[in-house]
Amino acid sequence: MNLTLKVWRQKNAQDAGRFETYTTSEADPEMSFMEMLDIVNQDIIRKGGDPIAFDHDCREGICGTCGVVINGVPHGGHGTTTCQLYMRHFKDGETITIEPWRARPFPVLKDLIVDRAALDRIIVAGGYISASTGSAPDANGILVPKPDSDAAMNYAVCIGCGACVAACPNGSAMLFTAAKVAHLNLLPQGQPERYTRTANMVAQMDKEGFGGCTNHGECTAVCPAHIDMSAIARLNRDLLAATLKGVA
């Protein structure tokens, strides 16, 4: 495949950044997008240039590390992670624009790499349960209704990639926060801190500078874990309850 790439290059957070154009004729339809970038970087290195910096780790769609905006859509818009996006989704001779997540709480560190520590701080604010240390409890010690356990797992699959933020026109982290809140609030173990958790995590989300949710739904369209808007509905309901209880 012959491809033209317009890639965002930025030395650091202070650099203004700019698009640079690269070409490759070595891409194969069965390559992943990351493997294609590896080939482009090999060519840049051979020519004595600075390779394109981008995040990656497992390359199996699990870790949430990878993440770039491809032709204006996070992860390329195929309901998967960037590392699991294959070049067969593109056409021979196509021009592809590649840039980092665009959100105020995600400052660019270099090229396509952004600092997503803001999501970690939301988790620290309440994404856990308090439990006594000791041996593991019996698996059947706390009974959980099957619908609740299934729903909790559906939200727990969030990998924290940040695509929802990058896709949202408001730069909102509502889907991420909602998923992290919902999977704990649905389980018996999460009930003692349910409302303080909700209030604290939403407060931290606002403190980080994420925008407000106006239900555009762009977040769910690009989420590689296919988390839907029901997570946000659950969060809003628990936040209202926390407010009425005087917690928020």
Q: What is the pLDDT of residues 186-219, one digit of tens each?
A: 999 899 999 999 999 999 999 999 999 999 999 9
73: pLDDT confidence band, cut at 50, 70 and 90?
very high
Mean per-residue pLDDT for 53-65?
93
Residues near 18 by beta carbon (within 8 Å), at least 6 away in sequence? 8, 9, 10
pLDDT given for residue 141 in this prediction: 79
DSSP string, 63-105: S-----EETTEETTSSSS-GGG-BGGGS-TT-EEEEE----TT
pLDDT given for residue 178 in this prediction: 98
Model confidence pLDDT, tens digit, residues 138-169:
777 788 999 999 999 999 999 999 999 999 99
Closest of 235, 240, 223, 116 to residue 168, by C-alpha = 223
Q: For residue 87, give both structure tokens.
A: 């070049």
How many other C-beta atoms are found inside a 10 Å radius of the C-beta of residue 105? 23
Query: Are the CB atoms for 165 and 101 separated by under 8 Å?
Result: yes
Which domains can be identified in the chain, with CATH numbers?
3-110 (3.10.20.30), 116-131+141-244 (1.10.1060.10)
Q: What three-state secondary structure class fits 23?
A: strand
pLDDT given for residue 140 in this prediction: 76
Q: Is the pLDDT of residue 131 over 90?
A: no
Q: What is the pTM of this model?
A: 0.93
The CA dihedral of 20, 40, 161, 78, to the nearest 10 degrees, is 100
Q: Is the pLDDT of residue 137 over 80?
A: no
Mean per-residue pLDDT for 97-114?
96
Q: For residue 162, give both structure tokens.
A: 């940040």
pLDDT given for residue 247 in this prediction: 86
Mean per-residue pLDDT for 38-56?
97
pLDDT given for residue 134 in this prediction: 76
Residue 199's H or E segment, with its range, is helix 194-207
Query: Are the CB atoms for 10 and 108 separated by under 8 Å?
Result: yes
Please state, rounded to an integer, the average pLDDT across all residues of the chain: 94
